Structure 1
Amino acid sequence: MIWIGLAIVVVTFWLIYKNYEARLVLCLSGIVMALIGQYVCGSNVTLSTAVDAFIKQLVNGGLVPTIVTVMGFGYVMTFTKCSDHLVNSLVKPLKYVPAIVIPGAVLITWVLNIVLPSAAGIAAAVGVLLVPALIALKVRPVMAASAVFAGTWGSVVSPGLMFNPQIADIAFKAKEIGAPDAMIVIMQEFLPCAIGALVVAAVLALICMFLKEGVGSTQLSSAGDALEGGLAEETKKDFKVNPIYAVVPVVPLVLLVLASKQVGVLPTKVFSVPVCMLIGTAIGLMVAIINKQKIGDCSKRFCRGAGDGFCDVVILIAAAALFAAGMKSIGLTGALVDSMKGSQSVAMFAAAAGPFVMAAISGSGNAAALAFNEAITPHAADFGLTIVQLGAVAQIAAGLGRTMSPVAGGVIILAGLAGVNPMEIAKRTAIPVIVALVVTTFCMFMF
């Protein structure tokens, strides 16, 4: 039965790699394994148990409110153009310091991806400004796109990313932490990830120097001139950044940091992630009124974002829970845990390598990381690790793996903006993210 379970898992991830609907594939695979476990193996984890695991995630009080409010807030920031003010305020200064444009582009994208936790969304928002600006400084188009793409994993330390609330919920249930608070997870992983971001920026800058693709390395071709005249039009316009509007997207993050247990300036129980996101949304509604936008339309955008968050994120987490229950039913989870118990290094390697490779191949490591966290992360203590350590490494690895995938949504957007092949961008980000994976994983497990 273990080999049958492994075969089903392999087929599952192959189908996801082939772009079949991930939620459907995970659910069907989980159901098949649960049925085999119930009627062939006599497992006490039945189909009914697996379905219950799915339903529990749909009404998870620590998970659902966080995800839907973050997504709703993000949609409001886009509607009010507060995100445009933030992006412009950070991007424009790079034009005046050519020596740091490549590492600066990486780090700016990484920081903005924390506030706007969508890799494809941040690639579009930042890329439409930065790619033409870098090309105007005679950076080769492929390196301009690579610099932005290399920063599209900042969401790994965002409270809006699905994994951080999930890990916090698992750790809380195991009594590892006192509350299902995503900020507890983020505070532990932030420094290793920040070091990883610096590593990515530095290594890509070295590659840029070696390949001679930086500032002044090329003359604008007719295609480049067209790009500069077309896509850079937004940067040529006298876009007046309103510093107040630029600060609005950051307000919830500031409140969350101040309310974290490590800082403790604000009461943690009061300023939860949903509360902070709703405060930010309320400020966004005021911005809409000031700009004479229809407040009803702004409200609809929040509801649409919340709905998309439930559809795209919460149901995916629920499907991963059903899949994990199926693995447990057929005996695969127990076998994997037993195989890892003999070596802490095996568990550490599996957490980093599995989601990383899956994300690099498929362009999305969500399914792999979610399944790993549901099935293996709760057993972290058996390997001499904490749940936060093991779960965080899995989701960080997924984010980094996606940042070297030639089929990720972000790289396809950036390739279109720069007029280059996505594979050429992935080639340039591969070494930086692999180095960052090693460094970040080491920092997470050793400190």
Structure 2
Amino acid sequence: MNDVLYVLLTIVVIGVTGVMIIKKVDSKLVFFFIGTCALLFITIVTQESVLGKQTTGNIYLDVVDVIRVKFIDTIKGTGIRLMVIAGYVMLMNQIKASNVLAAMVGKILIKLRSPYLILGGVFIMGSILKIFITSQISLGLLFITTLFPILIQLGITKVSAAAVLITVGMLDMGPNDSSAIFGAEVMKIAPMDYFLSYEGRVGAVVIVVMAIFYSVYFKYLDKKEFVEKNIEIENIKNISPRDHGVPLFYGLFPLIPLILVVITSFQKSLKVDIITANLIGFFIVFFSDLLVTKDVKKIGENLKKVFEWMGQYFTNVVVIIVAAGVFAEAIKQLKGITILAGWFATLSGATLIVAFALSLIVFGTAMLTGSGNAPWFAFGILTPDIAATLGTQTATLAIPMHLAGGIGRSISPFNGGVIAISGVAEVEIKDVIKRNLIPVIVAYSLNVITAYIFFK
């Protein structure tokens, strides 16, 4: 087939996949089915193995063997990391360590004197906490129980407060985040290097600029739409970290894995993997909890739950990475996106155009489905080849694509965090999405442009 047909076929495959996902067909099923069918088509047309030299001996059996290869590669690398991390994150929620940490942050923020400075501070501190509490919905709900009442008493409207508490979780960063670990695999570097040298730099710019933007823009909207309240900050009663019934030092537990990785990353003779850091965290947490509760049975129950949570994460996240890998292999072998990148490479500013186009696919899919991970897992693996065609760093394309998913899901009416936080705040989902539309567009554009400036 000629290049035009490859491009058209690639567009058709991506279009059909997008429609099925938007229609709420399970994304794992869609990626497996469409990917396998596309690989079979490629095999029939080319009469060559999709596995190359790793063939089973039969080009048609190789289509199915692609799934086996993706399972093995994912589980021994990204998969086991994500399962261990998921168990630790869920344990932090179970023993209320995350609640204490969030309440501690609230005590710091209340010391700011201006309501809208506090709102900007909430965004900064929440975005930082997202590195440790990797679930957007968990972080948002923790903040809405601790900080939402304070923001309302300060005179900030419910819709503005809810909008910020949704977007504190929009940047999926840090060595414990599943999508970030996948990004590190794509770029073939350690998760900590990916965080410190790439996504962390772009994320820091987005966080600071958006905190200022929220402070100014939401103050303007609240004054315009509602009667401004004059509240004495001294009269605000803060929620204490002690309210959760566990010792204050529990608030340090979510920080343990990242602290270990950061400290050892500066030691030439010592490197601690993310898995090892989380396992050390488990030992510290279980031993400390045993000293506090003196309940061996409770420790045993929590350990059992950790393995159950790891199994759930395998089903919900690791399998979708495998399925997306099969789909990505099909897209890669169809060559359409690579051909398009080659055409764009002759244009002035081609890299920025391609970065906006690819990240917009992830952003749009996340907005329509509520999931930022699925489109990133599906298309992220393609970035090294496309970047090579354009003559740029992989990070120029990979970082904005990665972060675009979390940004896009923040204005999705199907996203669990948007639904849950809007419900608790007692505001309409459509009002929160409308409130966040301009900020999210600003964050998305800032994300792409910053990555281009840093890595081009």
Q: Same-fold call, TM > 0.5?
A: yes
What CA distance in whole angstroms lies between the structure 1 residues aligned with 2:323 and 2:345? 27
Residue 395 in 1 paired to residue 409 in 2? no
Tell me which residue corresponds to 1:54.
67
Q: Supply the AA of the counterpart residue of 2:342.
A: D
Alignment of 1:243-254 (within 5 A): 243-254=248-259
What CA distance in whole angstroms lies between the structure 2 residues aligned with 1:17 and 1:200? 29
Question: What is the CA-CA distance between 1:49 and the residue it aligns to?
Answer: 4.2
> Structure 2 length as normaliser, TM-score?
0.85
Residue 64 in 1 paired to residue 69 in 2? no
> Judging changes above 3 Å, is the alpha-carbon distance between structure 1 residues 86 and 150 closer, same or farther for their aligned structure 2 residues?
same
Q: Supply the AA of the counterpart residue of 1:186.
A: F
CA RMSD of aligned residues (A): 2.7
What CA distance in whole angstroms lies between the structure 2 residues aligned with 1:439 and 1:47? 45
Q: Structure 1 vs Structure 2: percent identity of aligned residues? A: 25
Question: What is the CA-CA distance between 1:50 and the residue it aligns to?
Answer: 4.7
Q: Supply the AA of the counterpart residue of 2:141.
A: A
Question: What is the CA-CA distance between 1:251 and the residue it aligns to?
Answer: 1.1
Question: What is the CA-CA distance between 1:98 and the residue it aligns to?
Answer: 4.9
Alignment of 1:279-290 (within 5 A): 279-290=280-291
> Judging changes above 3 Å, is the alpha-carbon distance between structure 1 residues 266 and 116 closer, same or farther for their aligned structure 2 residues?
farther
Question: What is the CA-CA distance between 1:86 and the residue it aligns to?
Answer: 0.6
Tell me which residue corresponds to 1:375.
382
Moved more, 415-424 or 34-43: 34-43
Tell me which residue corresponds to 2:133.
116
Tell me which residue corresponds to 1:208.
218
Give 3-state SS (helix, strand or coil) of 2:392's partner. coil
Q: Deviations over 1:213-233 (max 9, x none)?
A: 69983599xxxxxxxxxxx99
What CA distance in whole angstroms lies between the structure 2 residues aligned with 1:267 and 1:437? 37
Task: Name the structure, 1 or 2, with higher relative contact order (CA <8 Å, separation 6+).
Answer: 1
Question: What is the CA-CA distance between 1:39 and the residue it aligns to?
Answer: 1.4
Q: 1:151 aligns with which of 156, 168, 178?
A: 168
Q: Which ranges in structure 2 are unaligned for 5 or more consecutive residues?
A: 51-58, 232-236
Give 3-state SS (helix, strand or coil) of 1:253's partner. helix
> Judging changes above 3 Å, is the alpha-carbon distance between structure 1 residues 82 and 47 closer, same or farther for their aligned structure 2 residues?
farther
Matched-pair contact (CA < 8 Å) for 2:362–2:372: yes
What CA distance in whole angstroms lies between the structure 1 residues aligned with 2:354 and 2:48? 25
Q: 1:304 aligns with which of 299, 304, 308?
A: 308
Tell me which residue corresponds to 1:409.
416
Question: What is the CA-CA distance between 1:247 and the residue it aligns to?
Answer: 1.0
Residue 186 in 1 paired to residue 195 in 2? yes
Matched-pair contact (CA < 8 Å) for 2:98–2:251: yes
Matched-pair contact (CA < 8 Å) for 1:320–1:367: yes
Question: What is the CA-CA distance between 1:21 and the residue it aligns to?
Answer: 0.7
Matched-pair contact (CA < 8 Å) for 2:40–2:63: no
What CA distance in whole angstroms lies between the structure 2 residues aligned with 1:50 and 1:377? 23
> Judging changes above 3 Å, is the alpha-carbon distance between structure 1 residues 387 and 50 closer, same or farther for their aligned structure 2 residues?
farther
Q: 1:364 aligns with which of 353, 360, 371?
A: 371
Matched-pair contact (CA < 8 Å) for 1:138–1:216: no
What CA distance in whole angstroms lies between the structure 2 residues aligned with 1:301 and 1:191? 36
Q: Supply the AA of the counterpart residue of 2:191.
A: A
Q: 2:320 aligns with which of 316, 320, 325?
A: 316
What CA distance in whole angstroms lies between the structure 2 residues aligned with 1:291 and 1:338? 61
Residue 8 in 1 paired to residue 13 in 2? yes
What CA distance in whole angstroms lies between the structure 1 residues aligned with 2:357 and 2:44? 30
Question: What is the CA-CA distance between 1:347 and the residue it aligns to?
Answer: 2.3
Matched-pair contact (CA < 8 Å) for 1:71–1:305: yes
What CA distance in whole angstroms lies between the structure 1 residues aligned with 2:335 and 2:449? 31
Question: What is the CA-CA distance between 1:71 and the residue it aligns to?
Answer: 0.4
What CA distance in whole angstroms lies between the structure 2 residues aligned with 1:184 and 1:340? 30
Q: Supply the AA of the counterpart residue of 1:354.
A: I
Give 3-state SS (helix, strand or coil) of 1:116's partner. coil
What CA distance in whole angstroms lies between the structure 1 residues aligned with 2:91 and 2:340? 43
Matched-pair contact (CA < 8 Å) for 1:288–1:298: no
What CA distance in whole angstroms lies between the structure 1 residues aligned with 2:351 and 2:241? 54
> Judging changes above 3 Å, is the alpha-carbon distance between structure 1 residues 32 and 239 closer, same or farther for their aligned structure 2 residues?
closer
Question: What is the CA-CA distance between 1:303 and the residue it aligns to?
Answer: 0.9
Give 3-state SS (helix, strand or coil) of 2:176's partner. coil
Matched-pair contact (CA < 8 Å) for 2:99–2:244: no
Question: What is the CA-CA distance between 1:317 and the residue it aligns to?
Answer: 0.8
Tell me which residue corresponds to 1:226.
none
Matched-pair contact (CA < 8 Å) for 1:55–1:318: no
Residue 79 in 1 paired to residue 94 in 2? yes
Q: 1:418 aligns with which of 384, 400, 425?
A: 425
Residue 164 in 1 paired to residue 173 in 2? no
Matched-pair contact (CA < 8 Å) for 1:167–1:387: no
Tell me which residue corresponds to 2:22.
17
Q: Deviations over 1:309-352 (max 9, x none)?
A: 21122111100111012223444344344334433233222232
Q: Deviations over 1:177-227 (max 9, x none)?
A: xxx41111111221220110122221121121111269983599xxxxxxx
What CA distance in whole angstroms lies between the structure 2 residues aligned with 1:388 and 1:162? 17
Matched-pair contact (CA < 8 Å) for 2:364–2:408: yes
> Judging changes above 3 Å, is the alpha-carbon distance between structure 1 residues 403 and 246 closer, same or farther for their aligned structure 2 residues?
same
> Judging changes above 3 Å, is the alpha-carbon distance between structure 1 residues 22 and 219 closer, same or farther for their aligned structure 2 residues?
farther
Q: Deviations over 1:352-399 (max 9, x none)?
A: 222112212222222221121123434422212222332222111111
> What is the number of equivalent residue pairs in this alignment?
424
Q: Which ranges in structure 1 are unaligned for 5 or more consecutive residues?
A: 173-179, 221-231
What CA distance in whole angstroms lies between the structure 2 residues aligned with 1:328 and 1:240? 52
Question: What is the CA-CA distance between 1:299 and the residue it aligns to?
Answer: 0.6
Question: What is the CA-CA distance between 1:166 and the residue it aligns to?
Answer: 2.2
> Judging changes above 3 Å, is the alpha-carbon distance between structure 1 residues 417 and 233 closer, same or farther for their aligned structure 2 residues?
farther
What CA distance in whole angstroms lies between the structure 2 residues aligned with 1:233 and 1:53? 55
